[in-house]
């Protein structure tokens, strides 16, 4: 059984990350399922909105570190993570996220590409990359600065700080706050509202608002190179060892 499930209901495609025992950490196979679902939604006129959610009280804790490539190695063949990020960048169908609990790593950076983010006040959003000796990914080094301005984005990203849903809403990362337990329904309601609009006009409007994505894709590829440099570095090896051993890393 896949750890990602999909369901199309009333023009809304629901993509649910269902690996609660790992706080919905993503494997390469899970990326492939999500990418295929987004690509199909983009090509299918019967899909008018998409909702991402997570099972077990968390949205997504990022990449499963066990799925990280060996230090210094590049993935052979197409990169499933890049396929997913490109599907987000290229999507004209509106996408909403229902965020409860933890949204970390790609679980946080993907939110910057979406058209609606519903979260509870107590949700926890973190861009943890510097703690793992990695650079930001999924275009976040560009999108977060555009959204927040440089100094606020730098403090959030370079400290690898965790913020709650209330603060994320104040900053504009989250578009709506909902009560715990109601986040999923509010996200579905928002997606249904998107789906009720003229579908082709909706897609054209989103493309116009997103604008030219060439600069964004260039930055995403630069980030990808930086991630693999980090994974192959002594800092990266120590950060991953410390993470697995549940201790503070020593970068001295």
At 33-86, the pLDDT tens digits run 999 999 999 999 999 999 999 999 999 999 998 766 554 455 556 789 999 999
With beta carbons less than 8 A apart as the criterion, state whether 99 and 111 touch: yes
**165 touches 125 (CB < 8 A):** yes
- CA–CA gap between residue 113 and residue 136 (Å, rounded): 14
The pLDDT > 90 percentage for the chain reads 86
d(Cα 134, Cα 63) in Å, to the nearest integer?
A: 13
The number of beta carbons lying within 10 Å of the beta carbon of residue 41 is: 24
Q: Does residue 63 belong to any structural domain of this protein?
A: yes
187 within a domain of the structure (yes/no) = no
Domain at 113, CATH number: 3.90.226.10
Q: Within a domain: residue 32?
A: yes
Kindly state whether residue 118 falls inside one of the protein's structural domains: yes
- 129 domain-assigned: yes
Is residue 28 domain-resident?
A: yes
Domain count, the chain: 1
Predicted pLDDT of residue 240:
87
Model pTM score: 0.93
Condensed to tens digits (0 to 9), the pLDDT of residues 210-239 reads: 999 999 999 999 999 999 999 999 998 999
User: Which residue do the tokens 């002594």 mark?
Assistant: 234
Buried-exposed string 85-106: b where 16+ CB fall within 10 A, e elsewhere: bbbbeebbbbbbbbbbbbbbbb
Instruction: Give the domain extent around 29.
Output: 4-177
Position 68 scores a pLDDT of: 60
Residue 73 DSSP SS3: coil
């Amino acid at each position: 059984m896949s750890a990602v499930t999909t369901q199309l209901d009333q023009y809304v495609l629901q993509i649910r990350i269902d690996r609660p025992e790992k706080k919905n950490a993503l494997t390469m196979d899970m990326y492939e399922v999500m990418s295929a679902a987004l690509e199909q939604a983009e090509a299918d006129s019967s899909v008018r909105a998409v909702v991402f959610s997570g099972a077990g009280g968390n949205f997504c804790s990022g990449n499963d570190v066990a799925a990280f490539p060996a230090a210094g190695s590049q993935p052979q063949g197409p990169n499933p993570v890049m396929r997913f990020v490109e599907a987000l960048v290229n999507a004209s169908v509106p996408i909403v996220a229902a965020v409860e609990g933890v949204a970390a790593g790609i679980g946080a950076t993907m939110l910057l590409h979406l058209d609606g983010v519903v979260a509870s006040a107590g949700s926890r959003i973190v861009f943890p990359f510097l703690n793992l000796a990695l650079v930001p990914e999924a275009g976040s080094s560009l999108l977060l600065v555009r959204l927040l301005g440089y100094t606020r984005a730098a403090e959030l990203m370079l400290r690898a700080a965790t913020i709650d849903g209330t603060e994320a809403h104040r900053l504009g990362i989250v578009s709506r706050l909902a009560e715990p337990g109601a986040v999923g329904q509010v996200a579905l309601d928002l997606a249904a509202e998107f789906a009720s609009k003229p579908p082709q006009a909706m897609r054209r409007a989103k493309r116009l608002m997103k604008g030219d994505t060439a600069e964004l894709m260039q930055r995403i590829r630069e980030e990808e190179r930086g991630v693999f440099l980090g994974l192959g570095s002594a800092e990266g090896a120590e950060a991953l060892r410390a993470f697995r051993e549940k201790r503070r890393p020593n970068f001295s």
